[in-house]
Amino acid sequence: MSEPGRHRVEHEILVSAPAADVYRLLAEVENWPRIFPPTIHVDHLERSERTERIRIWATAVGRPKNWTSRRTLDAKALRIDFRQEVSTPPVASMGGTWIIEPHTTGGCTIRLLHDYTAIDDDPAGLAWIDEAVDTNSRSELAALKTNVERTVGAAELTFSFEDTVYVDGDAKDVYDFVNEAHLWHERLPHVAAVRLEEHEPGLQTLQMDTRAPNGTIHTTRSHRVCFPDERIHYKQTTLPALMDLHTGRWTFRPTGSGVTAASQHTVVIKTENITAVLGQDAGVADARRHVKNALSANSRATLDLAKAYAEGRR
């Protein structure tokens, strides 16, 4: 007998990729920001061979939220059950299942099941949850299809890199420089304007106008998850023309005598814009080089100025 007030919905999509590859992408939650548009960051809180507790930061109907979930993984059955341990209002409870069904053609069907209740069965809250679940489920399945098929067919489009700098200073001061992004237009020459909104401590939305070496300005928008004095994870939701995806993290590692500060980027190239941006003869390698140079220049400028700031305070 179903629980009064509990709603159940199901979404599915056909994917031209092996079921085992799809299951692996779903099981490895550290990759979720790369494959699911709403997901900003995921941390493991506990982990065993078949069960885990994870904390997820993601957008729901355009606003960043976070919650803690428990998952049970069954690689043999290609099934993952999940249930929110701590939900965010207006959600009272939320759970569901990923089921991957192999096809003889080599592809598979992904089924995503949800069940949920609203706090006090509030109709407005339930309507919000209905919209959030439907929007995120469709977005997640479409993105999973795109990304797993891309992973199988075009690995050269995705790449990661990192810039580092040693700081003779305190991790807190380096972290503060990067965390206080509302001051970047005063502190960083390549930032023309910035708008920072902090929804709750450590959960930010950052919109920034960045000045390129040729003087052009482009606008990006990111959601950031901040862990004081340790790291900042972010995901861009408004991207430059050559990128289909851009996620990254800032890390601040004490060394005993100072701090190693690093800026890491993961990028997926947007192939349809390559010739429009770089010319008719340009290819994926040219786009990778162009994007890496631009991101690295900004990262290094920020790291160098954060270094000067922290060392000046010692």
Question: Residue 270 gets which letter from DSSP?
Answer: -
d(CA 76, CA 74) in angstroms, rounded, equals 6
Nearest-angstrom CA–CA distance, 130 and 99: 21
Residue 300: which residues within 8 A CB-CB, separation 6 or more?
163, 165, 263
CB contact burial 99-120 (16+ within 10 A = b; e otherwise)? bbeeeeeebbebbbbbbbbbee
pLDDT per residue as tens, the chain (314 positions): 456 678 999 999 999 999 998 999 899 998 899 888 889 999 999 999 899 999 999 987 778 888 899 999 999 999 999 999 978 889 999 999 999 999 998 999 999 999 999 999 999 999 999 999 999 899 889 988 988 887 766 678 989 999 999 999 999 999 999 999 999 999 999 999 999 999 889 999 999 999 888 888 989 999 999 999 999 999 999 999 999 999 999 999 999 889 999 999 999 999 999 999 999 999 999 999 999 999 999 999 999 999 999 999 87
pLDDT computed for residue 1 by the predictor: 43
Residue 134 has a pLDDT of 94
Topology match between the domains 7-153 and 156-312: yes
Domain ranges of the chain: 7-153, 156-312
**Homologous superfamily of the 7-153 domain (CATH):** START domain (3.30.530.20)
Q: Which CATH architecture has domain 156-312?
A: 2-Layer Sandwich (3.30)
Asked if 288 and 242 count as a contact pair (C-beta separation under 8 A), the reply is: no
